[in-house]
Amino acid sequence: MRLRFNKNRFKKVAGISVTVFSITVMTGYLLFESGLRFNLTPSLPIGVWKIDKNFIRIEKGDYVWFTPTREIADFGIQRGYLEENKSCPNYSIPLLKQVYGLPGDSYSFFDDIVRINNLPVENAKRRKTDSKGRPMPKILDGIVQRDRIFVLTLHSLSFDSRYFDTIPMENVIGTAKPVLVWTN
């Protein structure tokens, strides 16, 4: 049996395909412009988050969407912790983390337990090696400096301030709130 090319059917299918594709692209663009982002990493609940680029201040417990510094991005990309994206600042996709320390707060790692102002952060330990057995960076105890924040998630494999230190406030794109998420 030989199939015949039907020019009219082809035109209809092509027209419908182009329309569906165009609607999908426009919808994605509008959602992106409205501040909606998808978190697909297991370090925080997976789903849709709303980014507020017009935040006034950041407080402990806030979630922030930020670009890592170039040094952090290079290390994270080399190790495979972060995705490379040449169109993003510092060539890394933005990260979503929770704020645990503000300027003036102390952070320490006695027995590899993360402590903020000498209080242990429940379920936040610093690993000695990553999932491939490579040594993790060890930062020293310190004080969060002016215009910087200490970010963390409680996921055991999270790449955050316990390994790369505090981040500059100028790298924060916005605060984030969950819209439609589910726990991992």
In a shared domain, residues 137 and 91: yes
In a shared domain, residues 55 and 24: no
pLDDT score recorded for residue 33? 65
The residue range of the domain holding 170 is 37-182
Instruction: Yes or no: say if 155 and 131 are a contact pair by the CB < 8 Å rule.
Output: no
In a shared domain, residues 27 and 76: no
In a shared domain, residues 99 and 143: yes
Least trusted range by pLDDT, from 23-27, 38-42, 82-86, 122-126:
23-27
In a shared domain, residues 115 and 134: yes
Query: What is the pLDDT averaged over residues 111-129?
Result: 95
- Measured CA to CA, the distance from residue 103 to residue 66 in angstroms comes to 17
In a shared domain, residues 175 and 105: yes
pLDDT score recorded for residue 136? 95
In this model, does residue 75 exceed pLDDT 70? yes
* Sign of the C-alpha dihedral computed for residues 158, 134, 114 and 99 taken in this order: negative
**pLDDT per residue over 147-157, tens digit each?**
999 999 999 88
Residues 127-134: contacts with CB under 8 Å, at least 24 apart? 127/156, 127/157, 130/79, 130/81, 130/157, 131/157, 134/79
Q: How far is CA 4 from the centre of its chain?
A: 51
In a shared domain, residues 84 and 175: yes
In this model, does residue 99 exceed pLDDT 80? yes
Q: How far is CA 170 from the centre of its chain?
A: 16
pLDDT band at 28 (very low <50, low <70, confident <90, very high): low
pTM for the full predicted model: 0.82
State how many domains the chain has. Answer: 2
In a shared domain, residues 43 and 111: yes
Instruction: Yes or no: say if 114 and 154 are a contact pair by the CB < 8 Å rule.
Output: no
pLDDT score recorded for residue 11? 80
- Measured CA to CA, the distance from residue 126 to residue 130 in angstroms comes to 10
The CATH number for 155's domain is 2.10.109.10
Instruction: Yes or no: say if 74 and 82 are a contact pair by the CB < 8 Å rule.
Output: no
Residue with tokens 């996709």: 93
In a shared domain, residues 84 and 3: no
Q: What proportions of the chain, in percent to the nearest 5, are helix, strand and coil?
A: 25, 35, 40
pLDDT score recorded for residue 8? 80
In a shared domain, residues 118 and 58: yes
**pLDDT per residue over 145-183, tens digit each?**
999 999 999 998 899 999 999 999 999 999 999 999 987
In a shared domain, residues 30 and 67: no
In a shared domain, residues 14 and 100: no
